[in-house]
Amino acid sequence: MRFIKINIFAIAMAILFVQGCTTDQTVDLREKDYGYVQFKLYKSASYNPATKASRAELVDELEYLAEACKIEVNLYDENNRIIRQTLVLSAADSDAAEFGLRSDKLKLLSGSYKLGKIALFDALDVELYNSVPTSNLQFTVVEGGLTQHDIAVDVAPRGKIRFSLVKDLSSFTQNPATRASREREYTFDEIKYVDIAVKRVANNNTIGDVILFENLPAKFSQHFDEENYQNDKEGWKTSSILCDTLISLEADTYRVVSYVTKSKKGDGNTLEINDKPALIEFTVADNQITEPKVKIALYESDEYIKDNYALYEIWKSLDGENWCYDGESYTRGTNWDFNKDVDLWCEQPGVQVHSNGRVARIDLSNFGFKGHMSPAIGQLTELIELYLGTHNDTNIIYDPSLDMKRSHSERQRSMFDDQRAYLQAIHPALQMSEPCARALIEKGLTSPAMALYEKYGESEIIDKMSGKQTIRKYDMNHGTLINGLLSLPKEIGNLKKVETLNIANGTIAELPAEIAQMESLSSIEIYNCPEMKKFPVEIGELPMLRSVNISNNKQWSSEEIEKGIEALAKGASRKSIEILYARENNITKLPKKWFGSDDEGFEAMGLLDLAFNKISTLEPLGKEVAFIQLYLDNNQIENIPHDKDGYYCGYDDVENFSVNYNKLTKIPNIFNSNSTYAMNAVSFGGNQITG
């Protein structure tokens, strides 16, 4: 009995062990003897390019594979029995459909099958295609598995194209008379839309109808030219335009036969119609993206291209290779760069252009240029502003009159507002004593009379021996040179549209007589030019001057500078000059004749700054000579005379009347308490007034 019990226990444990193993395994729920097949439809041209039939041999052909929504298949089993079934076709979207369609899964008995006729239908069950495949007919359904079987369908082979526009510089050597029809000269980056026409190519000839793609949006970009990396032009900068629109086109070889460039959509915005563009052929392959590059002609004879060449000549003539910017507007050490396409040469620090690409502004201040200005500057006939140094070269303080965030016309309209800010910089308010200033600062109070104490101590602001305020926040010291400009060419007279000309801190000795031909010049600055021994009386012939700065030219004797101002007072702009800076010179007198008679004298003078001269003699100017701003600081004036009516000058419009640091011993009796006008500031500080 004991032996029997042991065997029963062993049998029971074995049964439990077997059952435990079975519950840990996945249950096979597959139907016996059945499997699935899923059909994948591909375009014949893409699926098997080696056996692709020519267009003429295709009989039944779809235009697009995406048109097919259902497939009817005829299948033959191993016993040659026919099975007919209709299945739904699907793809992610119509574009993805061109790369293949999937059918629903079809449940079949396992075994071998042969594919017979197939038919394709659209969404309305209209038959689109009916054919018997000629290859890949056999497939096997595996019990419990999924078989995927490919079917190649005759569909018109199509690819996608994305046009880009590139610059064609070959026209630089062609006769301008052969250029295309253009409404005007235009720059490459002005293109915002383009029409492109293509034709099929056969035996080197275009055949068939023109295929036109209209109003393709064009996006301009600059980049490095990767192709030229292999042609010793590493780092060469170029630009191109991408028409980021994918266009479907039948597979074939095509040629671009014309293009139309536009600045905007719609009539009247056409830039160019070119029906003989540079040869460009491209081949469209089935289900591939081709990116043809359409060549847009640029012409060397265009004025903006000639402007760019002129910039290069200016750069070379002024020792451009050794330029090294030292200021606040650009990165220290900046230079001009011509390692790029010629139409991009205008993109240089200190250069601005009009919308048509013509050069509008050049500022060479702080680049350390030197040499004789190239005659090529005469090409820049659309130039508006030319800065060959300025009183702001040291960049000690921001100069609002040179603010490039505003247009030149905006700065012209607000000329006096800009000058007020500039005057606050060159005429800082007289500072109070340091104990008072520090006490106010501790209380969080501010005043122009304590502004300098935020950066300086009293010993830096006021000379203890003389009691004069010595610190000034602005302007170059006489004789400190920033550039080595030697001369300007006579071609400067070609610049008929220049409105602002600054020449400063250089070694130039004289101005050409042709400067008088700059008929639009309204603002001129000849500042700190120690080698210019004679006053440039040529500027007296300029007809449109409004602002003149001839400061910091102590090399001129009193006779020379006074003769020069008299030439201005008798010159072509005597009725239009509103602003005159003649600071830090050797002027000894301020005579009435500079302002006075019917046929000579300044008639519109509103701002006169003669600070830091040697003026000791003043003549009564009379009520008719009315300034807005008058600065006679740091001279040798002992007395301010007045005429029989009690006027030194007219005070009705005066905002600032400043005679600081002279030799006055009393407040002059030149103000009328009955006046209905109020001055903004009258300053007699730093004089010898005792009562």
Mean pLDDT along residues 466-487 = 75
Instruction: State residue 396's pLDDT score.
Output: 42
Choose the weakest-confidence range: 242-251, 285-294, 423-432, 448-457: 423-432
Choose the weakest-confidence range: 57-71, 204-218, 477-491: 57-71
**Three-state DSSP state, 518:** coil
Q: What is the dihedral of CA 505, 508, 511, 517, to 10 degrees?
A: -60
Question: What confidence category does residue 478 fall into, taking pLDDT thresholds of 50, 70 and 90?
Answer: confident
Of 515, 55, 8, 423, the residue nearest 251 (C-alpha): 55
C-alpha distances (whole Å) from 297 to each of 63, 140, 169, 227, 580 are: 36, 61, 6, 19, 49
**Considering the chain, what is the average pLDDT of its residues?**
85
The pair of three-digit structure tokens given for residue 501, joined into one six-digit string: 């000309």
Instruction: State residue 523's pLDDT score.
Output: 95
Superfamily in which the 159-301 domain is placed by CATH: Domain of unknown function DUF4458 (2.60.40.3540)
Contact residues for 443 (Cβ-Cβ < 8 A; gap 6+):
none
Mean pLDDT along residues 155-172 = 88
Mean pLDDT along residues 585-609 = 89
Indicate the domain borders of the chain. Answer: 34-156, 159-301, 429-461
Largest interatomic CA distance in the chain: 157
Looking at per-residue pLDDT, the higher value among 49 and 403 belongs to 403
494 phi and psi, to 5 degrees? Answer: -75, -15
Q: What is the pLDDT of residues 334-364, one digit of tens each?
A: 999 999 999 999 999 999 999 999 999 999 9
Residue 375 CB neighbour total at 10 angstroms: 17
| Range 34-156 has CATH code 2.60.40.3540 | yes
Res. 497: pLDDT tops 90: yes
Looking at per-residue pLDDT, the higher value among 50 and 278 belongs to 278
Res. 596: pLDDT tops 80: no
**Three-state DSSP state, 94:** helix
Mean pLDDT along residues 258-277 = 90
Res. 251: pLDDT tops 50: yes
Looking at per-residue pLDDT, the higher value among 397 and 258 belongs to 258
Mean pLDDT along residues 650-679 = 78
Instruction: State residue 686's pLDDT score.
Output: 86
Choose the weakest-confidence range: 98-107, 194-203, 472-481, 530-539: 472-481
The pair of three-digit structure tokens given for residue 343, joined into one six-digit string: 């139409």
128 phi and psi, to 5 degrees? Answer: -105, -30
Instruction: State residue 654's pLDDT score.
Output: 82
- Give the N- to C-terminal CA distance of the chain in Å, as an integer: 147
Mean pLDDT along residues 177-201 = 86
Strand bridging mode 281-284 / 252-262: antiparallel
Choose the weakest-confidence range: 50-64, 159-173, 361-375: 50-64
354 within 8 A of 467, measured Cβ to Cβ: no
Question: What confidence category does residue 534 fall into, taking pLDDT thresholds of 50, 70 and 90?
Answer: very high
517 within 8 A of 542, measured Cβ to Cβ: no
94 phi and psi, to 5 degrees? Answer: -65, -35
Instruction: State residue 690's pLDDT score.
Output: 85
Contact residues for 115 (Cβ-Cβ < 8 A; gap 6+):
73, 74, 75, 133, 136, 137, 138, 139, 149, 151
Alpha-carbon distance 164 to 291, whole Å?
7
Instruction: State residue 48's pLDDT score.
Output: 58
Question: What confidence category does residue 58 fall into, taking pLDDT thresholds of 50, 70 and 90?
Answer: very low
Res. 25: pLDDT tops 90: no
C-alpha distances (whole Å) from 534 to each of 320, 488, 529, 538, 585 are: 29, 16, 10, 11, 13
Q: What is the pLDDT of residues 617-635, one digit of tens each?
A: 899 998 888 888 999 999 9
Alpha-carbon distance 361 to 357, whole Å?
11
Alpha-carbon distance 611 to 524, whole Å?
19
Looking at per-residue pLDDT, the higher value among 357 and 393 belongs to 357
The pair of three-digit structure tokens given for residue 122, joined into one six-digit string: 């659209």
Four-residue CA torsion sign, 325, 330, 333, 337 = negative
Of 319, 322, 380, 311, the residue nearest 347 (C-alpha): 311
Instruction: State residue 173's pLDDT score.
Output: 54
Mean pLDDT along residues 93-120 = 92
* Domains 34-156 and 159-301 equal at CATH topology level: yes
Question: What confidence category does residue 5 fall into, taking pLDDT thresholds of 50, 70 and 90?
Answer: very low
Instruction: State residue 180's pLDDT score.
Output: 63
Question: What confidence category does residue 458 fall into, taking pLDDT thresholds of 50, 70 and 90?
Answer: confident
Looking at per-residue pLDDT, the higher value among 31 and 412 belongs to 31
Alpha-carbon distance 347 to 326, whole Å?
19
Question: What confidence category does residue 11 fall into, taking pLDDT thresholds of 50, 70 and 90?
Answer: very low
Question: What confidence category does residue 582 fall into, taking pLDDT thresholds of 50, 70 and 90?
Answer: very high
Q: Which of 17-31, 385-399, 465-479 has the highest mean pLDDT?
A: 385-399
Instruction: State residue 313's pLDDT score.
Output: 97
Percent of the chain with pLDDT over 70: 84
Q: What is the dihedral of CA 364, 366, 370, 373, to 10 degrees?
A: 10
Mean pLDDT along residues 97-121 = 92
369 within 8 A of 325, measured Cβ to Cβ: no
Q: What is the pLDDT of residues 421-444, one digit of tens each?
A: 666 666 777 777 888 888 888 888
Instruction: State residue 263's pLDDT score.
Output: 93
507 phi and psi, to 5 degrees? Answer: -105, 15
Looking at per-residue pLDDT, the higher value among 442 and 172 belongs to 442
List the beta strands (DSSP E) in 157-245.
158-161, 164-168, 181-182, 193-202, 205-217, 219-224, 237-242
Instruction: State residue 52's pLDDT score.
Output: 38
